Structure 1
Amino acid sequence: MHTNGLSRRIFLRTVGATGLLSALPEGSFSSHPAHSGTTCEVASPDPAEDAVPKYSIKFAVCGMSHDHIYGMVGAIQRGGGILIAAYGEEPEKLATFIKRFPGVKIVRSEDEILNDASIQLVLSSTIASHRAPLGIRVMRHGKDYLSDKPGITTLEQLAEVRKTIAETNRIYGIMYSERFEVRAAVKAGELIQSGAIGRVIQTINIAPHQIYQHQGDAGGGGSRPDWFWNPDLYGGILCDIGSHQVDQFLYYTGSTDAEVVASQIANVAHPEHPRFQDFGDMMLRGNRGVGYVRLDWFTPDGLGTWGDGRLFVLGTEGYIEVRKYTNVAVSKTGNNLFIVDKHQARYIDCNNVTLPFGPQFVSDIVNRTHTAQDQAQCLLAAELAIKAQRNAAMVHLST
């Protein structure tokens, strides 16, 4: 619908202070005519999101070192998963988990989960470097696995994961939540696949994060555990949070083969943790597009959320920008999508878009398919992130 049909609230949220200039009468500041093709939309809710899940499986949590586990559990529950058991080694994390899921059975060891034949799927957000070895054990016990990102931190782990998948025919999923659990990112994928901006040429991902965040399930809170500062344990900035962005590059460009052209990392402002990396970026080249990724841990408190994640997709017939978590100085509401093609410029509020990952992943487990996440693409994203990290130049900026 056109802007003249929107409520004042949605209109102001959409165009912001700068955009208001273009809304003034023609000729107020320029003789150029206003663009009559500008529209604002609210994506319609999909009735399927409230439908009863088609399938049901039993799943467990084994390791909850990162608070991403709550979003992971929520996705599988939306898909029909029933949480029946959990195991965690950190008492504080386990206590928080029990408060969130008071009815879940807490077991005393990992083996109790691995040896429970009724469990079909295991979720984990244990320490990053421990996730792949756990996943290998899970698959060898006849279960499927969904890891928090990064799901793999070394090439040696990756080789063993691929070998185990081939031998067991199990699913090794990695929850790249910045695509799977962001409604505007889902909508961007739908538009791209429909040909809305032509052939994709490039993706640009800007992914700032906040170390000490005060809200949400992305981890942080008032402190970080010791492993957070150690790249041997968390994987390094490009392998860790960069894996989200590499996944998006592969998915939106449709690349099935890709390489890291260049990468660099730095510790700019955390000398008390000399091995920590608070900045990194990389250039990627795929067989169907190119990509650039910038990552950092410098989100200021004034933003009001943990990061201003932004995705830009350039196509031959248009472009898309996604402001995932906020619309700076306009609205704190996330899931903002802007699309421009040869006919018009559109803003789409994507907060009603259905999140398909959970139901699709549960369906994949039941039907032995790979609809929610292509297995080869999942592991290629991990491989590229690991290689970008391993080969990154360390940059030292002078003070």
Structure 2
Amino acid sequence: MEVTKVIIIHYDELVLKGKVVRFNFIKQLKNNISNSLKEFDSLKYQSSFTHIEISNFKISEWEGIKEKLSQIFGISNFSLVSKFPKDFDLIKSSILDLIALEAMQVKTFKLMVKRNDKSFNFSSRAMIEELATIILTNTKLKVDVQNPELKIFLSVNTDAIYFYTNKVEGAKGLPVGSSGRILLLLSGGIDSPVAAWKLMKRGLEVIFLHFATPPVTSEEALNKVKDLIRILKPYNNNKSNLYICDFLTLQNELMHTSLSSYRITLMRRMFIKIANQLSDKLGIIAIATGESVGQVASQTLASINVINQVSNVPILRPLITDDKLEIINLATKINTYQTSILPFDDCCSLFVPKNPTTQPKLEIAQKLEQELQELINLEELIKITTDKIIATTIC
């Protein structure tokens, strides 16, 4: 066996799972990784209960592979590794060459050995002592076990010894798809894309539902939503399914409500009703929004309660306790913020009454809907609107 370069991927929360669940999660993660890296068509994959190994790549491809791996949920960390045969003498004779570049840039180091194969002839302590002696004798590096500038890792497995000098942080969380699918109401604002990202991190494949009111809302507003989905696509196992609902007719009819302060409450209830009907068609058992309690009139506890009453499935709100600055900081981190603040209005912002109620009552909302039902057959219009939803995939 010759020394080869491989990539070792360590799992995040999968270590907490039972064997059957863990097997399924590893299978999902491996599929997600191969899907994300499909442009590198020569790669080979091997998985175990502790890690996934990628081989058969060019060193020149490492940076591109690294960028994509960093956006895949379920990965704790990953490394570019030198894979040695189980020959400690070969490790000793190679150690100085392996750390030559780093040794010129740092002053301190620490050796860490993990012996997964307990039958290996050398103990972890013996390997650390021998390798440290070689480094101390032949370089200017000093040992620092508390805060080393250079960390050197050795992992002894049943078939090989892995050597690497850094770990690239992964996105953490669970593999997308391992927790199911969810339908997210996506506006063009700051909050809902961040909510989508947090749902993906918990292993949920996100399907997007956007409410548009053309020509009141512009083509640019819809393009902004599509751009947000493109940014989120690498995190979502490259899935980008968008459902576009033309809400204009319903929105115009809601303008006729006898109590304008309830307009947003009624609109949000319509959104949830349509999302319920669509999720039922798609076989999805939960929906989600980007709401944060107290942020705007429709997101007070009273408003959320009244809006919840029309849903037959759970409504997840990943941002429910986040303040605006926390949401903005995360939006900046995941690169959705600059797109979200582009000045194109969505149907919510164009529909807000002068004094929206912050403490709506369920019985009043139901009474207003009954008035509309008698006037325009509201429930039939909701069904017609749902039936006209357009499905698209964002490239």
TM-score, normalising length from structure 1? Answer: 0.27
Higher helix share: 2
Name which structure has the greater RCO, CA cutoff 8 Å, separation 6+. 1
